[in-house]
Amino acid sequence: MIEILLIVFAPFIGGIIYGFERVVRARMQNRQGPPLLQPFYDMFKLIDKQAFIVNPYHTILGIMHFITLWVVVAFIIMGQNLLYVIFLHLLSSIFLILAGFSVKSIYSHIGSNRELLAALAYEPILIMMAVGFFMVNGSFDIAVIREHGASIASLFLLFLAYLMVIPIKLKKSPFDATEAHQEIVGGVEIEFSGIFFEFLYMAKWLEYIFAYLLLMLFAGDNILLGIGLFIGVFLLVNLVDNATARIKMKHLIKIVLSLGLTLGICNLIGLAYV
């Protein structure tokens, strides 16, 4: 029962996390910040606004992106196979990338390109994470992973690698070149407007849920540790977001691939032989 409730309200929980994050970021900069429910005000406003349709495929692909992402979150909450989850998540990114390529806007194309490159950089880390969980717990099932004890000690290097994936997924500096407001005006989301942009906006909230639920897998059955990890990483990501500037796409790929792959492979080799 609680699982169904969680799944139904997942976007709204994500919205609250997003609103809270905006407040935290404002407080870090010594500002007051918007109200906690600001994302929902934005949502109602966007529903009320006029919407432009550039072409039908573009809008449909945007909505598909949101729906697949919701399914991904549902799968994690229900404790399905971790590999399915990761590949389905890739599919949802692909929908967004196709949507970006389906319009004529150059910024949209650049955004899609960057999204694709970013997927290239973080996908191997996610897959290695799944392999690591398999080696520790003997199963890809998230339900099984959640029953075992905390695996953060044996997967520590992969945990560090995953810390680099979170800013990419949540579009936080230094790794926010995929979205890059004011530089490429949001990239893939540029041509969406009104209620159709709302789907993309809510997909962003779901991304939060996705990233932090995967993070909590490192804590296994230890719920307190899971919550501790969530709070710690949440603050860390926002602190880094406030303190650093955006880096170029080229450097993003170099850093994430070289560092992340090395960390991941070391961890997997260690698990296999030690």
Partner 1 sequence: MFDLKKYRKKSPWILHYNAGSCNGCDIEILASLSPKYDLERFGVINTGNPKQSDIFLVTGPVTYRSRERLIELYTQMPEPKVVVAVGSCTCTGGVFRDMYNVEDGIDRYIPVDVYIAGCAVSPELIIDGVVKALDILEKKSKEMEKPLKLFKEAISENGVVNRRNVALKVGEVHEEN
Q: How many distinct helices (H) and strands (E) make up the chain?
A: 12, 0
Burial (0-12, 13-18, 19+ Cβ within 10 Å), 7:
middle
**Per-residue x/- mask for partner 1, residues 211 to 250, rule CB under 8 A?**
----------------------------------------
- Residue 63 as a binder of partner 1 (CB under 8 A): the answer is no
Which candidate, 112, 227, 217, 125, places its Cα nearest to that of 167? Answer: 125
- Of positions 6, 194, 240, 270, contacts partner 1 by CB under 8 A: 194
Instruction: Extract the runs of DSSP E, i.e. beta strands, from the chain.
Output: none
Among 185, 225, 255, 265, binds partner 1 (CB under 8 A): 185
Residue (48 or 274) nearer to partner 1, CB: 48
Q: Which of 88, 40, 46 is nearest to 67 (CA)?
A: 88
Residue 258 DSSP code: I
In the complex with partner 1, the residue whose CB is nearer, 42 or 123, is 42
Residue 181 sits in the site that holds partner 1 (CB under 8 A): yes
Does residue number 182 form part of the binding site for partner 1 (CB under 8 A)?
yes
CA 218/CA 150 separation, integer angstroms: 6
Residue 192 within binding range of partner 1, rule CB under 8 A: yes
Candidates 173, 193, 242, 244: give the one binding partner 1 (CB under 8 A): 193
Look at the block and give the residue holding tokens 């169904």: 4
**Footprint on this chain of partner 1 (rule: CB under 8 A):** 22, 26, 29-35, 38, 41-42, 44-52, 181-182, 185-186, 189-194, 197
